[in-house]
């Protein structure tokens, strides 16, 4: 075997010999260092260096010096991430990595062709880009998995190159820019390989999947913002969720997730329809209606409870109606995807969707004066125009209220009536008073100022709390008895019956005798007393309405 090749057994034996020459280093530490490079066992706080170590292991058989340079850069990056080695396992990891670098420095130096390490990694990156990246990039015929891995490796090598070399040639900068632009195109997917590179995958040829993709791709009649026009020309056809992202400022990765989510739901319902739709490669309206009814069941119930009309307005025309329904479903899923912890407040999500969907209807309507006379474009909704605008301007303010209330709990030590949990905050959206927030939401509203306190004269301390909207739960020592009252009642009644049988009879079958059965019937008197006791305790444990 050539000295530049990687052999696990040879590495282990050489590592053990190296450890004997260092009395201060234990065998366990050396074994850990070798395990790190063989299995990439890296501390969680240094997870960003895992791709660098993986690339080092891949290129080591052919270019040992390049692998050494990658590991050296990984060591420097690990030191920058945790200079004091306070993370769990970081000090041990650094020690093992340092030993490995000392051991490989001299042995890999003979494989260096250029005068410096910077020139060596630069030459290797140029060769890798020419022989692998450009050679594998064959358009739609390219192997998506192999090319995606190649782009990831090229990205890591360029990061190492920039960390080692002070100057990078314009040629390599242009190559790195090309890799960066196309790396996202070939990123690993979850289930559906959407995009031109995944068109050859078998799952994309299923009729139900093709029908869902075609339905999402119907964007006729939609006005795109001018900032997206250039991107449309560069990337190609965009779908309805891309339009929602352009109009409302959703996150790019969230749009990717919810696109696949919606496609899979539609495809699953479409293929299960009875009788079978004809043709199968065209999305059936029954599938859209079924998904829509499930998604908006809670929203419609919320609107009915508040006595307001829902904002799911549909135009005339079959294609336009189907497009609008998919827009509504995509909008709801995108709001749910961006919501994070706000998902635990379902009525709050209903409030957000009610206003955003109304803005969607307005931006699609030409009869309401929504078209700008100056630009001729649809006037954008209140929260729009920038990437991640929805997260920063809608979700983040609500999350701040949640976070502020959670801090008042003092890790569960504060009384339950002194702070608000998700249910308490969600109660604010159970009444039409929530519409006092307006849209766009006013920063000076009661919800964001945390001054809501119905039915009581708030003190200065209480004015800093959001307060319970309708009901205050007061938890006392007796709360555990009220919460498990049925269990305590069952235990006490069973104990009473067993004592009577054990005292009066000789066996459990004696319970059916007249005298014993008469005495056992007293458990109903005990049950009545326990029920009276429970009602007496309820006032002190349940709380009071505001």
Give pLDDT tens digits for 35-84: 344 434 788 888 888 889 988 988 888 888 999 999 999 999 988 888 88
Q: What pLDDT is stored for residue 478 in this prediction?
A: 67
Q: Could you tell me which residues are beta bridge partners of residue 545?
A: 471
Rounded to whole angstroms, the Cα distance separating 251 from 449 reads 27
CB-count burial class (<10 Å; 0-12, 13-18, 19+) for 433: middle
Q: How confident is the model at residue 265 (pLDDT cuts 50, 70, 90)?
A: very high
State pLDDT tens for residues 86-123: 888 888 888 888 988 998 888 888 888 888 888 888 88
Task: Collect all residues with Cβ–Cβ distance below 8 Å to 292 and sequence separation of at least 6.
Answer: 325, 328, 329
- Domain extent listing, the chain: 44-184, 202-388, 391-451, 477-543
| Reported confidence tier of residue 12, pLDDT bands at 50, 70, 90 | very low
> Would you say residue 34 has pLDDT above 50?
no
**DSSP state, residue 16:** H
Residue-level pLDDT at 328: 95
Residue 526 has pLDDT above 50, yes or no: yes
For 181, the token pair is: 């632009």
Lowest mean pLDDT among 28-32, 44-48, 106-110, 475-479: 28-32
pLDDT number for residue 460: 41
Q: What is the mean pLDDT of residues 432-452?
A: 76
Planar angle of CA 242, 339, 385, nearest 5 degrees: 40
pLDDT of amino acid 440? 82
Q: CB burial class (10 A; 0-12, 13-18, 19+) of residue 2?
A: exposed
How far is it, in rounded angstroms, from Cα 277 to Cα 283? 8
The model's confidence at residue 385, banded by pLDDT at 50, 70 and 90, is low
Stretch 405-426: mean pLDDT: 79
DSSP string, 56-108: HHHHTTT-HHHHHHHHHHHHHHHHHH-TT--STTHHHHHHHHHHHHHHHHHHH
Given this model, what pLDDT does residue 308 score?
92
Looking at the chain, how many residues does it have?
546
Is residue 82 within 8 Å of residue 46, measured between CB atoms? Answer: yes
Residue 368: the pLDDT is: 38
pLDDT at position 292 over 90: yes
pLDDT band at 475 (very low <50, low <70, confident <90, very high): low
Q: Over the stretch 321-350, which tens digit does the pLDDT of each residue have?
A: 999 999 999 999 999 999 988 989 999 999
Nearest Cα residue to 71 out of 88, 90, 96: 96
Mean pLDDT of 403-423: 78
Average pLDDT in the 400-409 region?
85
- Domain 44-184: CATH superfamily, name plus number: Vacuolar protein sorting-associated protein vta1 (1.25.40.270)
Q: Which pLDDT does position 351 carry in this prediction?
A: 94
């Amino acid at each position: 075997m050539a000295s530049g090749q990687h052999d696990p057994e040879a590495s282990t034996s050489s590592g053990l010999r190296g450890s004997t020459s260092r009395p201060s280093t234990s065998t366990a530490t050396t074994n850990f260092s070798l395990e790190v490079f063989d299995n990439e066992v890296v501390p969680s706080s240094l997870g960003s260096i895992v791709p660098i170590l993986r690339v080092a292991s891949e290129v080591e058989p052919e270019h040992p010096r390049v692998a050494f340079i990658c590991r050296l850069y990984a060591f420097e990056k690990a030191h920058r991430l945790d200079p004091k080695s306070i993370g769990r396992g970081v000090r041990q990891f650094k020690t093992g990595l340092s030993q490995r670098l000392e051991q490989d420095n001299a042995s890999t130096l003979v494989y260096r062709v250029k005068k410096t390490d910077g020139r060596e990694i630069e030459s290797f990156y140029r060769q890798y880009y020419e022989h692998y990246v450009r050679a594998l990039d064959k358009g739609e015929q390219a192997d998506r998995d192999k090319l995606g891995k190649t782009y990831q490796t090229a990205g890591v090598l360029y990061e190492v190159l920039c960390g080692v070399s002070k100057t990078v040639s314009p040629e390599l900068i242009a190559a790195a820019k090309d890799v960066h632009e196309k790396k996202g195109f070939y990123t690993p997917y979850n289930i559906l390989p959407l995009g031109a590179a995944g068109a050859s995958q078998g799952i994309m040829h299923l009729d139900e999947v093709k029908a869902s993709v075609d339905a999402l791709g119907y964007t006729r009649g939609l006005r795109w913002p001018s900032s997206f026009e250039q991107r449309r020309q560069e990337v190609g056809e965009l779908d309805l969720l891309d339009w929602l992202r352009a109009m409302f400022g959703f996150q790019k990765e969230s749009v990717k997730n919810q696109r696949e989510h919606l496609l899979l739901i539609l495809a699953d319902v479409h293929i299960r329809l009875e009788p079978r739709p004809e043709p199968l490669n065209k999305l059936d309206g029954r599938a859209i209606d079924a998904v829509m009814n499930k998604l908006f069941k809670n929203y419609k119930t919320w609107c009915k409870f508040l006595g307001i009309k829902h904002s799911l307005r549909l135009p005339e025309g079959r294609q336009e109606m189907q497009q609008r329904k998919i827009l509504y479903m995509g909008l709801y899923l995108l709001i749910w995807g961006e919501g994070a912890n706000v998902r635990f407040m379902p009525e709050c999500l209903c409030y957000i969707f009610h206003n955003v969907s109304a803005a969607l209807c307005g931006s699609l309507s030409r009869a309401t004066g929504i078209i700008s006379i100056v630009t001729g474009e649809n006037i954008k909704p209140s929260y729009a125009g920038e990437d991640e605008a929805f997260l920063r301007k809608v979700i983040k303010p609500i999350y701040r209220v949640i976070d502020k209330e959670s801090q008042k709990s003092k890790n569960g030590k504060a009384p339950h009536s002194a702070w608000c949990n998700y249910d308490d905050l969600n109660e604010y959206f159970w009444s039409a008073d929530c519409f006092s927030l307006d849209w766009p939401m006013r920063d000076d509203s009661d919800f964001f100022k945390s001054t809501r306190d119905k039915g009581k004269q708030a003190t200065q301390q209480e004015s800093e709390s959001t307060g319970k909207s309708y009901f205050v739960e007061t938890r006392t020592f007796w709360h555990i008895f009220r919460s498990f009252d049925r269990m305590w009642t069952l235990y006490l009644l069973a104990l009473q019956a067993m004592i009577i049988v054990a005292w009066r009879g000789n066996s459990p079958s004696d319970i059916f005798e007249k005298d014993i059965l008469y005495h056992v019937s007293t458990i109903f008197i005990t049950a009545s007393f326990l029920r009276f006791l429970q009602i007496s305790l309820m006032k002190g444990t349940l709380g009071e309405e505001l």
